[in-house]
Structure 1
Amino acid sequence: MRVGVVGATGAVGREMLRILEERSFPVDELIPLASERSAGTRVRFQGEDHTVGVLSLDALRGADVALSSCGSTAAKSWIPQAAEAGTVCIDNSSAFRMEPDVALTIPEVNPESLEGRPRIIAVPNCTIITALMAVAPLHRAAGLQSLILSSYQSVSGAGRRGVTELAEQIEKLHGMEEDLAHPDPSALPVGEVFGKTIAYNVVAKVDAFDPETGFTFEEIKIQREARKILSLPELDVAATAVRVPVPVGHSVSIHATFLRPIGPDEARELLSAAPGVEVRDDPANGVYPSPLEAAGRDEVLVGRIRQSPGRPDALLLFSCGDNLRKGAALNAVQIAEHMFATSK
């Protein structure tokens, strides 16, 4: 099988290469591609070095599948034409997610979206993947009515520049921890990526603000994508997205209400049987999810499962997932596995 990886030199692209190899995806020919700036870089795959080419339709001609992590603007410039030429395009950007004829897929949650073998499939926002891996099994059993989400998103969600900005600020502030009790705001390091100091801080802004609603566009994506993935166009959902000084791993605090009563014991049973989910819910013994424990893992970790006070139809949960793996690269490879297993 001829497999293209677009954005092969980025964090998600390199993770896609790693996961293709780990999962023994049938790659007969690898086509690693990137922008002109990154072309010529060498990437390692199956024990061999491969030279990264410049992204073009000619370079992808004849590819069976293309896994893309190149940003929305770039994705729009080539994916429709490549799909028309016969390549299955699995895109990590937000470019096509809300298009009515494009599948928005988490294979463990809505595999039916891949029926009919669409040529363009969008990978959802990494935060909503982390949330819905925990919520969908409960929805199937009890019928989801509403969602309130607060996310704690790692700096790698903003790319390598975000990780670098955090590391540089930690280095600058090292040894000044006591001073941060009475900081001089003008002396704090501020970078281009996050707009406020991210080291020793949290930033209640992921993406730009929508002036009409006050939500960020990240929060709006979460709302819209949850409705599409679950086929619940009237779902009552609201989100607050926060950036935290964690290298890898997104976390989501979830308040979910259902159409019937559902308790923590039933929720644990349902989640324990759900593919791609690992229940970590024994707080008395120090067992509950954290993003560092989720980093490098394929499973989404779910815990802190509680009944909402006075609400037998509502639960509180805490979910953590690796935003580079299940939140992006792994989900893309799983879609490819599903598509090509179905075609056999």
Structure 2
Amino acid sequence: MRRQVFVCGDLHNLGDLKLLLQNLALTSGRGGLVRRWAPLPAAVERQVEAAGGVLVSGKAIPAFARQAFGAQLVFGGGQLVRDNVSIPSLLGLLAGVLSARLGGGSLVTRGLGVSTIRSPMRRVLWRAVLSLCKVVNLRDEASARNLARLAPGKAHAVNADMVFLPTAGAHTISPGRGERRWIVIAPCIDGSEGRSIEGDALDAALEAALSALPGARIVIACHDPREGMDKAAAARLVARWPEREITVLGGYELDPLIALYREAALVLTNRLHALIFAILAEAPALAIEDGTAKVRVVADRFVIPVLPRDQPDAARQCVAQALGFDREGRAAVRQDLARKAAGNLDHGPAASA
């Protein structure tokens, strides 16, 4: 086996951290190098190192290229092909991939999410990177459509999000069997996309949830605990509901977040991986519409109700539907996606093109 170098999402985001830990678990103890761009909290570094990862800086482009020489670069999972990736980061990635190929190594992709790429320079660089792998393993049909616009004719396979692939380790999310005592609110904010969970619809959904689940407590789960990200949304929600007793889970440890979903009586979220964490933990879930197609795709697949932000009057009905979900039907879909996610490990001929 060649040395592996993992190129992952932003590890400040605990969903991306989980995907990386899954990749490291698949090395059967060999571990590998993990490319990071920005400095990381000590708690994140500790979890990566405990899983066998060795963090290396992507900003030191010549050094990273030397470390990638002859290696297998593993790109994904997660929504990594994005229009907001910096040009230096893309140039560094391309240098690493070229170095890997020059030394007889390769680039493989796993459950890759592909966004619409509008920047002409980024389109050129992303095409150059993706041209160096045999087949692009994608997580969904939306990514396949975006890839077709970015790199027409590129061989690809549509599988499933890597988060659905069962792997051994502390990062595993299994169904909870204990008390379901939390109403979990998992916000995602993105000013550039106009994304937010806040508004009358969330207020109404929370009221309906508290009515349907007497005795349940409220917790805001920060998947990206940086001060300007989910913690900022959590602070606004706490201020919005001053009469409520609210816990904020805002650390960088993955285990407490997973334990929380196993104890969730209901999850209210506009975040993709929060929705998937709820699905894996067999927790009831309700998606708050914020215009993001990828959240609706997963919600529709698992028959999870979606509450439009401009229809707070529908909250009570949506909460009732969320709590009365078909457990067996959802488990069958989850098992099907686990099988499809395993296809991300197949780097042979493309299943579609």
TM above 0.5, yes or no, is no
Question: Which structure dedicates a bigger proportion of its chain to strand?
Answer: 1
Question: Which structure dedicates a bigger proportion of its chain to helix?
Answer: 2
Name the TM-score class by shorter chain. 0.3 to 0.5
